[in-house]
Amino acid sequence: MINKKIKDTATQAAKKAGQILLKKYQNFDRSKVSFKSKHEILTAADLAAEKEIIKIINKNFPNHQILAEESGETKTESDYKWFIDPLDGTTNFSMHNPLWATSIGLSYKNKLILAIVYSPSLNEFFYAEKGKGAYLNNKKIKVSKFNGEKVINTFCHGSKKKDIKKAISYYNKQKLAQFDARQLGSASIELAYVASARIESITIPGANSWDIAAGALLVKEAGGKVTDFNNKTWNLNSHDIVASNGKVHKQILQALS
């Protein structure tokens, strides 16, 4: 399912988008952002990066289906489907916080088979392939073994009010009961951080597939656990996601209930 052409196309798309974003990031003016919703901003950088990614994919695989955050879903029928978030962490980007990334996932018959989360500002390239493990800058990564007093949980949320309220409730419980809980502002980076043992979990009510497809595979391939809020195996149609090192999963689900 994954051949050299697919891997090279995904890598090229992520790195080209990263170059575009990094150039714009260095001199970004926050006054130029527009709003998609009350809680979501859009920049010209998002659009330029997404356009480049789609151009590269279409050049190499014109029959593949694409779901991208800004331009939506193509009507092409294919067993292959790309999930693209050109700039995950737009608010961070707009305030010159380096925690933002390009996220590219690929599924085959609704099963994720490839993942890239690329953070050009940090020079970190996360990659996973189904059944072959997860990697950071070509070095294999694994989830952490922490459970207890050293646990760091993170959270994010969708733009709907009910999802924001759920996230606030979760944060309140975890912040008071655990060592720490925080929002880093980029779901793909938080998932990559779970995969690389920097944190123990990420919890997201109202998760969009283009935001988390790549990161979910990273966590799975790094030995972690990925479910919905009912502890059912997460899939591309799930509304919510909990991704963890596995050891803290039960406590997180209890905090959500």
Split into its structural domains, the chain has a count of 2
The reply to whether 58 falls in a domain is yes
Residues 165, 59, single domain; the answer is: no
What number is the average pLDDT over the span 162-177? 95
- Convert 217-255 to b/e letters by CB count within 10 Å (16 or more is b): bbbbbbbbbbbbbeeeebbbebebbbbbbbbbbebbbeb
Percentage of the chain beyond pLDDT 90 is 85
Residues 36, 134, single domain; the answer is: yes
Supply 27's token pair: 């001199």
Q: Which domain holds residue 196?
A: 152-256
Residues 79, 190, single domain; the answer is: no
- Residues 6 or more apart whose CB falls under 8 angstroms from that of 5 comprise 60
Confidence of residue 52 (pLDDT cuts 50, 70, 90): very high
User: 173: burial class by Cβ within 10 Å (0-12, 13-18, 19+)?
Assistant: middle
Domain limit, last residue, from 121, 141, 161 = 141
The reply to whether 223 falls in a domain is yes
Residues 156, 133, single domain; the answer is: no
Residues 137, 26, single domain; the answer is: yes
Residues 182, 205, single domain; the answer is: yes
Q: How far apart are CA 35 and CA 251, in angstroms?
A: 36
CATH classification at residue 184: 3.40.190.80
The reply to whether 147 falls in a domain is no
Q: Mind listing the pLDDT tens digit for each residue in 60-109?
A: 999 999 999 888 899 889 999 999 999 999 999 999 999 999 999 999 99
Check if the beta carbon of residue 225 is closer than 8 Å to that of residue 243. Answer: yes
Supply 165's token pair: 């309220």
Segment (H or E) for 212: helix 209-221
Q: What is the DSSP string of 187-204?
A: HHHHHHHHHTTS-SEEEE
Residues 121, 12, single domain; the answer is: yes
Residues 160, 122, single domain; the answer is: no
Check if the beta carbon of residue 212 is closer than 8 Å to that of residue 204. Answer: yes
Domain limit, last residue, from 122, 141, 160 = 141
Q: Mind listing the pLDDT tens digit for each residue in 221-256?
A: 999 999 999 999 999 999 999 999 999 999 999 999
CATH classification at residue 14: 3.30.540.10
Domain limit, last residue, from 109, 141, 173 = 141
The reply to whether 185 falls in a domain is yes
Residues 187, 87, single domain; the answer is: no
Residues 37, 86, single domain; the answer is: yes
Residues 88, 175, single domain; the answer is: no
The reply to whether 43 falls in a domain is yes
Q: Mind listing the pLDDT tens digit for each residue in 13-51?
A: 999 999 999 999 988 878 777 776 666 667 889 999 999
Q: How far apart are CA 182 and CA 164, in angstroms?
A: 14
pLDDT for the residue 149: 84
pLDDT for the residue 41: 64
**Pairing mode, if any, of strands 65-68 and 80-88?**
parallel
The reply to whether 212 falls in a domain is yes
The reply to whether 187 falls in a domain is yes
Residues 132, 156, single domain; the answer is: no
Check if the beta carbon of residue 46 is closer than 8 Å to that of residue 88. Answer: no
Is the full-model pTM beyond 0.85?
yes
- Residues 6 or more apart whose CB falls under 8 angstroms from that of 155 comprise 167, 170, 171, 174, 181, 182, 183, 202, 203, 204
Supply 73's token pair: 């879903």
